[in-house]
Chain A
Amino acid sequence: MKWKLMYLGICWLAFWSASTAAAQEGNTLRISVFNESTSIPFTHVLNTPVHPGIQVGTDLNWKNGDHYRLYPSISVGYLFHRDLYQAVYLNLELGYDLQFDFGLNLKSAVGLGYLHTFNVQPEFQFEDGSYRQGKDRGNARLMPSLSLGWGYRLQPANPRSPEIFMMYQSWLEYPYSPGFIPLMTHTNLHLGINIHP
């Protein structure tokens, strides 16, 4: 219970930090729900069954041109992969948007994150010659990512307009199973909104 509270506290703190940062001039608050899958990137767009996730973050104002925007972002998220694991993560990304006058923009981002996964069913740990059900302290992972997608400003002429977006994020889970499966590939399909709080 203690570690669960700590875990909850860390996530809440990260979320609070993101929303506070988003309140700074020019920064945005980005919220998305997504479907995660273990899959080979760019082979399928939507995989079933749905493994739900939620992500909250902020895009920091950095470089803006007439038709582009370059920005670092920070986000925290949670995902639930049925039968296998659940995870929380903190992800740092560098994003590039190519913007069109009619409100559409094409998005890309590269990222590196920290992921912590937990089993979704009891874990039996080997100790002193036998297995006992024990506390799952989870597994620490790196999650490098590459995202591509699009966004649309609901009020194209208003630079502070809310934006809806869809991002196809492919990412690696490393290490996965040392000596057995070195890394695992995942994809997340995000649907979200970007707002100026």
Chain B
Amino acid sequence: MITKKITPILSLLLIWGCTQKELPILSGTSCDNVISEANIEHPRHTDLQQLLQDLVRDGLPGIQMSIRQDGRNWNGSAGKADLAGGQDLLACDITRVGSTVKTFTALTVLMLQEEGKLTLNDPVRDYLSPAQLEGLENADEATIRQLLEHSSGIYNYILNLEFQTASLNDLTRVWQPEELLAYARGKSATFAPGSDVAYSNTNYILLGQLIEQIEGKAFYEIFREKISEPAGLEYTRFAATDPVPESIIRGYVDLYSKLEVIDATHYSGWDYFTADGGLIANAHDLALFMETLFTGSLLSDVSREEMLSWKRPSGSNFELFETDFGLGIFRMNTPYGAAYMHSGDAIGYYATMFYFPQQQTAIAWAVNGNYGKLDQFSQSREAMERVFKTVFEE
């Protein structure tokens, strides 16, 4: 009897379950791709475009790249901005660039020092309340500099497995900074402040709060006033004001390592309100930012020197190249010489930006796919060498 009653219910559930939800098609990018007009003037333009097409043919959904070299700029793209709608990815499209924002955060803090509003050796507790630092081991002793160079030892909330599973459990959840910091509270520090370096997103959430405390407004407003507008970063914005802009390219994840991707455009909700991620930009703006940071007037020479003071993690086993930690920036020893860089992931997106001081060249690329098998094409050592070789070798 019960069997007869339950069978139709089970069947209905199964049929309902087999129904896939429809995805909205990208509304259409409105960007006028003027930034690619001068591409032909770059001596490697054919090779660079071929590289992007090869990367897409290897498995990336889409990629955009920007090179600023010898006064000549190249901004290219290949692949799709939206797999469902078949829309081509353009160099002017906007995308998520994740943790590259940490360089913006560090630059802002250095600017505040130049304005006399803080000094890097001040303890963080001078600016943030005991409630903000409660339960974060080392936060009472750590200085602003130690947050910037990841030498505070404060636990990285992203490594907390409870956070990782909670994030997967509710993919469209929008997280507030306090909710993220809760995953670091009560966790043991990695080492004593200043004794080593280890990447921790928690440091940069605190720095965002510190900037807001000093300036009395949202940290991303300060980024806009101090960095984006003066540097002419026309495409750059922060997720907090519009987390998923209509014109943002779709992001995809290869969650099961099979080159079978699903749309993850709405899955980066932990990234919207903190200074450790959440930047929306494109490869063009990231390359322009790096060029301006290292050759322009955003920062004094003294502050730039301070930013480029390096620490190497102990017991390093480098996945990519030998890497040293600066203030919101890394130095990688590549086969083409030292490069200052930062990269960033969001769910479905990856971006990276480099500046090669010897060659005075800025390189940035952004892709709308990550995890699983996709990462090898955009963020592995081999992928980076492939790009550098195309840019630097005749």
For residue A190, give the distance in angstroms from its CB to the closest CB of chain B: 15
CA gap between A136 and B357 in the complex, in Å: 47
B84–A133 CB distance below 8 A: yes
Q: A123-B260, A126-B59, A177-B255 are in contact. Are A7 and B18 (CB under 8 A)?
A: yes
B10 within 8 A of A: yes
A40 within 8 A of B: yes
A-B contacts, CB under 8 A, total = 132
Partner-binding segment picked from B132-140, B225-233, B261-269: B261-269
Beta-carbon contacts under 8 Å, A42-80 to B: 43, 47-49, 51, 54, 56, 78, 80
B2–A43 CB distance below 8 A: no
B17 within 8 A of A: yes
For residue A72, give the distance in angstroms from its CB to the closest CB of chain B: 20
B83–A40 CB distance below 8 A: no
A121–B57 CB distance below 8 A: no
Which of A84, A88, A197 is in CB contact (< 8 Å) with B14? Answer: A88
Q: Mark B246-282, 1 if CB is under 8 A from A, else 0.
A: 0000001001110111110001000000000000000
B30 within 8 A of A: no
For residue B380, give the distance in angstroms from its CB to the closest CB of chain A: 12
B256–A11 CB distance below 8 A: no
B84–A122 CB distance below 8 A: yes
A15–B10 CB distance below 8 A: yes
Q: Which B residues touch A80, using CB under 8 A? A: 17
Give the most central of A12, A40, A134, A195: most B CB within 10 Å.
Answer: A40
Partner-binding segment picked from A96-104, A142-150, A178-186: A178-186
Q: Which A residues touch B168, using CB under 8 A? A: 38, 84, 184
CA gap between A48 and B84 in the complex, in Å: 30
Residues of chain B at interface, number, CB under 8 A: 46
Q: Mark B156-184, 1 if CB is under 8 A from A, else 0.
A: 00000110011011111000000000000
Q: Mark B1-28, 1 if CB is under 8 A from A, else 0.
A: 1110011011101110110110100000
Q: A133-B83, A178-B257 are in contact. Are A122 and B372 (CB under 8 A)?
A: no
Which of A11, A48, A122, A126 is in CB contact (< 8 Å) with B23? Answer: A122
Give the most central of B15, B18, B161, B372: most A CB within 10 Å.
Answer: B18
B256–A38 CB distance below 8 A: no
CA gap between A48 and B172 in the complex, in Å: 12
Which of B2, B170, B256, B261 is in CB contact (< 8 Å) with A177? Answer: B256
A4 within 8 A of B: yes
B10–A78 CB distance below 8 A: yes
Q: Which B residues touch A131, using CB under 8 A? A: 61, 80, 83, 261
Which of A54, A86, A195 is in CB contact (< 8 Å) with B10? Answer: A54
CA gap between A40 and B6 in the complex, in Å: 32
CA gap between A100 and B61 in the complex, in Å: 60
Q: Which A residues touch B261, using CB under 8 A? A: 123-124, 126, 131
B220 within 8 A of A: no
A84–B171 CB distance below 8 A: yes
Q: Which B residues touch A88, using CB under 8 A? A: 14
Give the most central of B13, B83, B171, B256: most A CB within 10 Å.
Answer: B256
B349 within 8 A of A: no
Q: Which A residues touch B17, using CB under 8 A? A: 78, 80, 86
A161 within 8 A of B: no
B371 within 8 A of A: yes
Which of B260, B263, B371 is in CB contact (< 8 Å) with A180? Answer: B371
Give the most central of B23, B263, B375: most A CB within 10 Å.
Answer: B263
Which of B13, B165, B371 is in CB contact (< 8 Å) with A39? Answer: B165
A22's nearest neighbour on chain B, judged by CB, is: B3
A174 within 8 A of B: no
Give the most central of B11, B257, B371: most A CB within 10 Å.
Answer: B257
Q: Which A residues touch B257, using CB under 8 A? A: 177-180
CA gap between A82 and B169 in the complex, in Å: 8
Which of B2, B20, B161, B260 is in CB contact (< 8 Å) with A29? Answer: B2
CA gap between A133 and B20 in the complex, in Å: 12
Which of B1, B13, B162, B371 is in CB contact (< 8 Å) with A43? Answer: B162
| 18 A-B interface contacts by CB (under 8 A) | A8-B11, A11-B10, A37-B169, A54-B10, A56-B10, A83-B172, A83-B267, A120-B20, A121-B21, A122-B262, A123-B262, A124-B84, A126-B259, A177-B256, A177-B371, A180-B257, A185-B165, A195-B2
Partner-A contacts on B (CB < 8 A):
1-3, 6-7, 9-11, 13-15, 17-18, 20-21, 23, 56-57, 59, 61, 80, 83-84, 161-162, 165-166, 168-172, 252, 255-257, 259-263, 267, 371-373, 375
The 8 residue pairs across chains A and B that have the minimum distance between CB atoms: A126-B259, A19-B3, A129-B57, A38-B168, A83-B171, A86-B17, A38-B169, A38-B165
